[in-house]
A and B are shown apart, each in its own frame.
Chain A
Amino acid sequence: MWNRDRSVLLSSICTKVIIVLAIMLAIALPFICQGDFFKNRASIQEYNIVWLMPVYYAFCVPALVALFSLDRLLAAVRRNEVFTAGNVRWLRIISWCCLLAAAVLLVSSLVSVVFPVLAILAAFFGVVLRVVKNLFAAAVDLKTDNDFTI
Chain B
Amino acid sequence: MSIKLHIDVLMAQRKISAGELAERIGITPANLSILKNDKARAIRFSTLAALCKALECQPGELLEFIDDS
Contacts and interface: CB of A to CB of B under 8 A. Distances in A.
Interface of A: 144-145, 148-150
Interface of B: 27, 31-32, 34-35, 39-44, 47
The 7 closest A-B pairs by CB, nearest first: A148-B41, A149-B42, A150-B31, A150-B40, A145-B41, A148-B40, A150-B35
23 contacts: A144-B41, A145-B41, A145-B42, A148-B34, A148-B39, A148-B40, A148-B41, A148-B42, A149-B40, A149-B41, A149-B42, A149-B43, A149-B44, A150-B27, A150-B31, A150-B32, A150-B34, A150-B35, A150-B40, A150-B42, A150-B43, A150-B44, A150-B47
Contacts, number: 23
